[in-house]
A and B are shown apart, each in its own frame.
Chain A
Amino acid sequence: AQKITQTQPGMFVQEKEAVTLDCTYDTSDPSYGLFWYKQPSSGEMIFLIYQGSYDQQNATEGRYSLNFQKARKSANLVISASQLGDSAMYFCAMRALDNAGNMLTFGGGTRLMVKP
């Protein structure tokens, strides 16, 4: 069974500073993908970044980077230079890649609040 744990229910960060959102996972599948999604108050799910379990390098997308430590089973999201628009819920998710029907397992989410 897959499990995603996000230990920070809520976090504050000062505008323009960097912030790390924690995510640990547990799976017995050798091939899996890790995802981060942003859900603003309007409710839509916005894909941020993806890391495959066999990827050698940490994923980066603009101000987002994923600190992937496979041995520790962690996939923390780093947001650099926080902006007020980054205030939202952030979900870490993973999916085994051997079957299209494998569910995308979500963590409980972290609410990030950016202070001006």
Chain B
Amino acid sequence: NAGVTQTPKFRILKIGQSMTLQCTQDMNHNYMYWYRQDPGMGLKLIYYSVGAGITDKGEVPNGYNVSRSTTEDFPLRLELAAPSQTSVYFCASSYSLGGELFFGEGSRLTVL
């Protein structure tokens, strides 16, 4: 049972580059989320999705885009990377609105 899988686990970007963080879950969850965790802090919501074809902004969406073409996949796109986007990114999913969130292992991104 893979759960939530994120790739890559580590990545270094130069300022202005773009990249996509991949996230896939095999639990048939409707709800998926992208969070970022800055050093010593809790998580902040970037984008979320309540089902295929439906996405919406969270607390800190600027500089990111998402898509949800299937139930399983929820990629996060970084356009024109900036040093402020250096963080650990977590993808998560849940079966229901009130259910627990299952997190991927995180993707550590450094922008230099």
Contact = CB atoms under 8 A, between A and B. Distances in A.
Interface stretch (B13-21, B72-80, B99-107): B99-107
A50 B100 CA distance: 7
A99 to B, nearest CB: 8
A105 interface: yes
A52 B100 CA distance: 10
Interface string B14-47: 0000000000000000010101000001111100
A79 B93 CA distance: 25
B2 interface: no
Given A100-B50, A101-B56, A106-B43, A44 B98 contact: no
B45 A103 contact: yes
A85 interface: no
A104 B43 contact: yes
Contacts of B44: 103
A53 B57 CA distance: 25
Interface in B51-110: 56-59, 88, 90, 92, 97-106, 108
Interface size class of B (residues with CB under 8 A): 20 to 34
Interface residues of A, number: 24
A103 B50 CA distance: 14
A104 B102 CA distance: 13
Contacts of A93: 42-43
A108 to B, nearest CB: 7
Contacts of B104: 44
Given A43-B88, A50-B100, A104 B105 contact: no
Which 6 residue pairs are nearest across A and B when measured between Cβ atoms? A106-B42, A45-B103, A103-B45, A44-B105, A50-B100, A97-B98
21 contacts: A4-B42, A31-B98, A37-B103, A43-B88, A43-B106, A44-B104, A45-B103, A47-B101, A50-B99, A50-B100, A52-B98, A91-B42, A97-B98, A100-B48, A101-B56, A101-B57, A104-B35, A104-B43, A107-B42, A108-B41, A108-B42
